[in-house]
Structure 1
Amino acid sequence: MAIPSITELTVLKALWRQQPLSAREIHQQVEGELGWSYSSTRKTLERMLDKGSVRQSSVHGVQVYEAALEKVDTLAAFAHDFGKRVMEIDSPLPVNMFTGSKLVDDAELAQLEQLLQDWPEDDGEAK
């Protein structure tokens, strides 16, 4: 799985909390964290559409977006990449480091732990 950029992850997190959202609604949720203009949000959404990270549809004549990437799968890929590339750890990260996260509930935490434990040794991941 290709890992989204940090800004793309911020957009995905907004969509995982509530979807579908218009570009304006997404911008309102991410502008405080990212500190960028509405046009930057639109450009990021276009890039994410091209990559297949989000889907676009029309609701009542308004273009809206939904996350195309599953939350737990994406977080597992981030955690795996962080452990391997940043921390140079060859074994799975302990799932207790995610305890207390506002992003995942207990069921998702258990699923995340399983994904990290079962991560393929030679996964050909994109860098």
Structure 2
Amino acid sequence: MAIPSISELSILKALWKQCPLSAREIHDQVEPELGWSYSSTRKTLERMLDKGSVNQQTRHGVQVYEAALEKVGTLAAFAHDFGKRVMEIDTPLPVIMFTGSKLIDDAELAQLEQLLHDWPVDNDAA
């Protein structure tokens, strides 16, 4: 699974919380965090659409977006990548790191723990 960039992750988080959203609605949610222009939001959405990270539809004459990437699996890939590349940890990250998150509920936390525990061993780690 491709790991989204930080800005792409911000957009995905907005869409996981509520969807569908128009580009303007997405921009209004991510602008305080990212501090960028509306045109940057549109450009990032276009790239994400090309990658298959988001889906686009027209509803009531307005183009709206939905996340195409599943939340828990994407977060598990992101956490695994962080643990391996940044922290140089070869074992599963402890799920306790994610308790108290406003992004996932208890059922999703359990699913995340299982995904991190069962993550396939990388071929380059051997």
- Identify the TM-score tier after normalising by the shorter chain: over 0.9
Q: Give the structure-1-normalised TM-score.
A: 0.96
Can you list the C-alpha shifts for 1:48-93, whole angstroms capped at 9, x where unaligned?
A: 0000000000000100000000000000001100110000000000
The Cα shift of 1:46 comes to 0.1
2:94 and 2:66 mapped to 1: Cα distance? 30
Q: For 1:87-112, what per-residue CA distance to the aligned partner results, in whole angstroms no more than 9, with x for missing partners?
A: 00000000001000001000000000
Cross-structure match for 1:122 = 122
Matches within 5 A, 1:38-53: 38-53=38-53
Secondary structure of the 2:101 match is: coil
Mapping of residues 15-34 of structure 1, within 5 Å: 15-34=15-34
- AA aligned opposite 2:69: L
Residue type at the aligned position of 2:78: F
- Alignment of 1:96 onto 2:96: yes
For 1:56, the aligned partner's letter is Q
Q: Write the letter of the residue equivalent to 1:61.
A: G
Instruction: Look up the SS of the partner of 1:55 in the other structure.
Output: strand
Deviation at 1:123, TM superposition (A): 6.6
Read off the aligned partner of 1:58 and give its amino acid letter. Answer: T
Give me the identity figure in percent.
Answer: 85
Structure 2 unaligned segments of length 5 or more: list them: none
CA-based RMSD? 1.0
Counterpart position of 2:64: 64
Deviation at 1:22, TM superposition (A): 0.2
**Structure 1 ranges of 4+ moved more than 6 A:** none
